Amino acid sequence: MSRIPEETIQQVIAATDIVALVGRSVKLRKAGTNYLGLCPFHNERTPSFNVSPSRNTYHCFGCGAGGTAIRFVMEHDGLSFVEAVKRLADAAGIRVEEEVWDANAEAEAKQRSLLLRANREAAEWFHQLLMKHQLAAPAREYLKSRGITAEVAKNWQMGYAPQSTTFYREWMAQQKLPEQVMIEAGIFVQPTEDENGQVGRSYARWRHRLMFPIRNDNGDVIAFSGRILSAEQKGGKYVNSPETPLFSKSKVLFGFDRSKRPISKAGEAIVCEGQIDMIMLYEAGFQNVVAGQGTAFTDLHAKLLKRVCNEIVLCYDSDNAGYAAAEKAFNILSPIGLTVKVAALPQGEDPDSLLRKQGKDALQAVLGNATDFLEYQIRRLRSSAKSDGMVERVRMAEQVAAAISIFTGVAQRITAVNKVAKLLEISEEQLNAMVKRAANEQKKNAGQQKADSTVNVVDEAKKLLSSQHKTAVLLCQMALNDAEVMHWLRESNCEDMLREVPGTELLSLLVHSRHNPSDETSQLAFMAGLEKHQEAAFAQLQAGPRLPGSLEDAKASLYALEFARLQSLIQGAQSKLRQPGLSEAEMERLQQQVVELSALRKECLDRTKGTPNSFSP
């Protein structure tokens, strides 16, 4: 992968006010020189989430979450490291230029560019077919039946996927797009092997379907959703792109690239189920609207919306499936502090059909009358209840109590209990007891999940440290605390040793970084760019007692590692010499190699004479 220069990372961290950043999603109060709040990463009643403006970091004493502003955005919004840095850089007005730093990274960057190009050109081709080609006449008729004009189709670059894969191949040849790129982009499907180990020829994923391009936050086409044109057509109603290097359906909301600003302005997001619903609401003036990708709401979807608003209006179909989807969405949206309402559509209607039949004012009335989820849930339960007796009301209360227990705010929970108790005509004490039981059960489950997650990271860090060469770990500890040792290491030309001696992975990360022990921002930037288990391993090294030592000690340690490398190479050459059937030239080459390596080993030994902590070969 490409990477962001460490100077830029340091600049971004220094330019970001972590108190202001965290304060957008966590209510903070001043506590001495720091700030305290309820941790957004686990459920708690007593604030243990600490933000330090002087160190520009955060730490939760409850669950152990912590790091820089970059780590906070990664964990809170479900972004990658590069995405988090870019978002903070954009907010600070800092230009980010990514570096390609090795051959593999360059290849990945080129491949990503090819995939983007394939999606972009496919979107344009699908669109041109829809607007102009006779093959797309059924698709145009379908749009007409749904009240979708050519202008709307153009605004959203809707398209038509032809039936024939051969037609695709002719277009691919014109665009000079390799078949493998089409497969990796998810536009083509590669069949699996049959019982004879044979693999058939790839074919187009979408055939005779209405196509909707799916875009990322920047507006790039990263995937597609294809809809059937008639009820008799085989296959799912919607077929989305598979997971690709560009697309993960759990992270993308349809239309968010256009609607994020209107959502932010309104402070509210309307969430519907299908692409056509989303498009028609947007075109009717309800621009603070998004849609899922044919899957249940995810934590990442919720965090995406939390960035820009505090209230969600679920505008799902009025059938049982719509209710189930609303319930699942509530369970994900509420725990992160989003207020969830439900717009109850008339029976048998979806947002698009209501717009077409009754107009914008009717939909506006439905949205305006949206009720909070608990009230909506009670109405649904009552509609299916056999009676309105106490037994039925208690049963309903048990179900609603589970929803109330999700609320993290004390005032929010008290208000909900008061309201639900009145609606169900039961005592607040009785309902509070139900909520408490549900909360304890949830806390137990969540605590176990959190513990498992934390244990996994800690275990991975321990495994990583135990796999490292002891001398390399010692050298890491010295370099982490001594700028002179760090500088010498980087000038010591130790690439061969780092590449060939097992257990030097952490030392290699440190040497190739721009970590400066005397610059705290540099340290934070280095830690922020690591994997979680790597970060935990380095944190453990830094938390240990500071080792007494000097540059001479560091040199002795590095020479010990170099000695180990040379010894391994000599043993390898000697082992080859013992193999039968070697040619005279090969034997001569190996013997010369042993002589040369032995001379280097002796030179390495001579360097250590008289140094502290010198080793014995």
E strands in 292-395: 311-314, 339-342, 371-372
pLDDT digits (tens, 9 = 90+) for 357-402: 999 999 999 999 999 999 888 888 887 777 778 888 888 888 888 8
* Inside any domain, residue 612: no
- 461 part of a folded domain: no
Q: What is the mean pLDDT of the chain?
A: 83
126 lies in the same domain as 213: yes
Helix (H, G, I), strand (E, B) or coil at 226: strand
Which tokens hold the place of 179? 């078949």
In the predicted model, what is the mean pLDDT of residues 19-42?
86
Give 564-611 pLDDT, tens digit per residue.
888 888 887 787 778 888 787 888 787 887 788 788 877 777 766 544
Q: Does one domain contain both 264 and 394?
A: no
Q: Which of 224, 218, 209, 121 has its CA nearest to residue 173?
A: 121
Res 561 pLDDT > 90: no
Q: Which of 344, 359, 383 is the last residue of a domain?
A: 383
Cα separation of 427 and 418, whole Å? 9
Same domain, 595 and 510: yes
Long-range contact set of residues 201-206: C-beta below 8 Å, sequence gap at least 24 = 203/165, 204/161, 204/162, 204/165, 204/168, 205/239, 205/241, 206/161, 206/239
Count: domains in the chain: 5
Mark whether 309 and 224 lie in a shared domain.
no
Among 434, 456, 478, identify where a domain stops: 456
Range of the domain at 182: 106-191+200-240
Determine the Cα angle at 78 with ends 183 and 57, to 5°. 140
Please report where in the chains the tokens 């040369």 appear, as a residue: 596
Task: Please report, for the domain that includes residue 91, its CATH number.
Answer: 3.90.580.10
- Specify whether 321 is located in the same domain as 281: yes
* 374 shares its domain with 396: no
Residues 180-229 pLDDT 10s: 999 999 999 988 766 666 667 899 999 999 999 999 877 889 999 999 99
End-to-end CA distance of the chain: give it in Å, rounded.
Answer: 40
Any domain includes 615 = no
Q: What share of the chain is helix, strand, coil (3-state, %, to 5)?
A: 55, 10, 35
In this structure, the answer to whether residues 473 and 602 fall within a common structural domain is: yes
Q: Is 348 helix (H, G, I), strand (E, B) or coil?
A: coil
Question: Alpha-carbon distance 508 to 516, whole Å?
Answer: 15
CB 343 within 8 A of CB 271: no
Q: Do 72 and 162 belong to one domain? A: no
List C-alpha distances in Å: 207 to 51, 162, 163, 219, 392.
53, 5, 4, 25, 50
Tell me the sheet residues that pair with 60. Answer: 49
Catalogue the E-assigned strands of 541-612. Answer: none
Residues present in the chain in total: 617
Out of 217, 240, 263, a domain closes at: 240
* pLDDT, tens only, 85-140: 888 988 888 887 766 555 565 677 788 889 999 999 999 999 999 999 999 999 99
What confidence tens digit (pLDDT) does each residue in 332-356 have? Answer: 888 887 889 999 888 888 888 899 9
Q: At 592, which amino acid appears? A: Q
**Which pair of tokens denotes residue 223?**
């995937």
Q: pTM for the whole thing?
A: 0.61
pLDDT at 554 over 50: yes
